[in-house]
């Protein structure tokens, strides 16, 4: 902000002294009845009085200018303190000092705001600050992720996608805790809400915490199973190694063995090999490497998955709908390809033997610019007791299944910052949905 220029004035004290002297002189001339000389003193008094008023007005204008600048949040001004150019340097220095104090205070306030914003962004829980009318002052990235939004300015924005959450956010009051279940395009969310109150600038605001229980429980389960699997596989392999080695050595010694003993050793050796293969499949679940991301097209991912799972005989009809057709994703192509193959293989098995079996693969981009890929089939609903455990590691209903396909796929999606959910389970359609962040 540029300070208006003006002329320099003599110090106000000098004007006051001259005015006082002129007034005394005028009084003395009146007492002596030297009236003609009043033509000199009276104009001098008027002139000095005018100068005092003018300098006072200049000081008031400077102070007013400073307050207007502060009110406009503009602290770029600075008054001239050079004695060779201005006389009222003490006032200018005082005003500049006030400006410097305000500038430091503003910088400290901005640093505190950045600090609190960093804390909000570092929180693993969604945090939203709203007023009594529902206007959102702040929403951290975790809250935006939970609701699938890029920007949240009012809770009414949630009425179209998660109306249950919108009503809960409007209704919750300080000290309350609510649990809300919401159905979204990517599956069901179980949200927990907590509320606190704060007064800022004489206005009441509510700070609402939002957590997705399903997501948290899923991550805890996966991590727990991973730790358990590492321990079990280590112990099993330590026990199997000498059994396998010893049985193979005995089978190949240079002397004839009793037929019953040979059959027993062959059974032990074969069983050991099967157990080693079984344990190796579990190791894949606990040793997923960090994703090596690269850009590639969704249609190429789907094309390869369809080719890799192609089966002879009566194969179900596969419908692919990718919108837009050139959708790109940035992920580990091999890992995401494994997820697509697992889901498509399960869909083929579900529709096997059905003359009207069909599979639908649909890709789209949601409002938050996440890529959503759905794998659907009409092979019949998954039983409720099975659906509850399909993502549990090592749980399987297949005689030769390892039970790690879906749990491994979900873990891969979590490592990509995405999710895998069962979003539809009816007799007419079963849908697994991938969300790629």
Structurally, what CATH architecture does the domain formed by 294-436 represent?
2-Layer Sandwich (3.30)
pLDDT at 68: 86
Superfamily of domain 115-212: PAS domain (3.30.450.20)
pLDDT of residue 432: 93
Q: Are the C-beta atoms of residues 128 and 143 closer than 8 Å to each other?
A: yes
Percent of the chain surpassing pLDDT 90 = 13
How does 127-165 read in b/e, with b if 16+ C-beta sit within 10 Å?
bbbbeeeeebeebbebbbbbbbbeebeebebbeebbeeb
Average pLDDT, the chain: 79
pLDDT score of 119 more than 80: no
Q: Given this chain, do its domains 115-212 and 294-436 carry the same CATH topology?
A: no
pLDDT at 406: 85
Residue 12's pLDDT is what? 60
pLDDT tens digits for range 140-196: 888 888 887 888 899 888 888 888 888 889 999 888 888 888 766 555 677 888 999
> What pLDDT was estimated at residue 4?
43
pLDDT (tens digit per residue) in 1-45: 444 443 344 456 676 777 677 778 777 777 777 777 777 777 777
pTM here?
0.50
pLDDT attached to residue 5: 41
In the predicted model, is pLDDT for residue 418 greater than 90? Answer: no
- Assign 373 a pLDDT band (cuts: 50, 70, 90): very high
Q: Is the pLDDT of residue 366 over 50?
A: yes
Q: Where are the domains of the chain?
A: 12-87, 115-212, 217-286, 294-436
More confident position, 393 or 405: 405
């Amino acid at each position: 902000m540029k300070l208006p220029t003006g002329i320099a004035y003599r110090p106000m004290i000098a004007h006051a002294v001259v005015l006082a002297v002129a007034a005394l002189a005028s009084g003395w001339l009146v007492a002596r009845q030297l009236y003609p000389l009043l033509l000199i003193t009276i104009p001098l008094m008027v002139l000095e009085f005018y100068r005092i008023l003018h300098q006072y007005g200049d000081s008031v204008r400077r102070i007013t200018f400073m307050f207007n600048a502060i009110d406009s949040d503009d602290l770029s001004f600075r008054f001239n303190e050079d004695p060779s150019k201005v006389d009222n340097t003490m006032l200018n220095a005082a005003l500049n000092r006030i400006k410097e104090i305000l500038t430091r205070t503003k910088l400290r306030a901005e640093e505190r705001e950045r600090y609190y914003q960093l804390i909000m962004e570092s929180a693993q829980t969604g945090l939203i600050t709203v007023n009594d009318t529902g206007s959102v002052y702040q929403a951290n990235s975790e809250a935006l992720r939970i609701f699938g939004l890029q920007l949240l300015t009012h809770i009414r924005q949630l009425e179209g996608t998660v109306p249950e959450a919108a009503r809960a956010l409007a209704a919750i009051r300080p000290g309350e805790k609510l649990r809300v279940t919401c159905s979204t395009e990517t599956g069901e969310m179980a949200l927990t809400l907590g509320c606190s109150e704060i007064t800022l600038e004489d206005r009441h605001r509510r700070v609402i915490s939002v957590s997705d229980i399903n997501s948290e429980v899923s991550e805890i389960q996966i991590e727990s199973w991973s730790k358990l699997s590492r321990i079990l596989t280590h112990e099993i392999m330590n026990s199997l190694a000498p059994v396998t080695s010893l049985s193979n050595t005995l089978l190949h010694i240079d002397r004839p063995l009793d037929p019953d003993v040979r059959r027993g050793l062959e059974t032990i050796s074969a069983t050991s090999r099967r157990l080693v293969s079984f344990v190796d499949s579990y190791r894949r679940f606990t040793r997923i490497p960090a994703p090596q991301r690269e850009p590639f097209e969704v249609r190429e991912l789907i094309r390869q998955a369809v080719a890799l799972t192609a089966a002879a005989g009566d194969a179900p009809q596969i419908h692919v709908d990718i919108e837009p057709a050139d959708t790109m994703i940035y992920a580990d192509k091999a890992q995401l390809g494994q997820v697509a193959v697992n889901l498509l293989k399960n869909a083929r098995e579900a529709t096997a033997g059905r003359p009207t079996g069909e599979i639908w693969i649909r890709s789209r981009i949601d409002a938050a610019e996440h890529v959503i890929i759905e794998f659907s089939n009409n092979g019949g609903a998954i039983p409720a007791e099975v659906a509850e455990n399909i993502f549990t590691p090592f749980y399987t209903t297949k005689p030769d299944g390892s039970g790690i396909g879906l749990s491994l796929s979900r873990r891969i999606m979590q490592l990509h910052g995405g999710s895998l959910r069962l979003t539809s389970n009816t007799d007419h359609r079963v849908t697994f949905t991938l969300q790629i962040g």
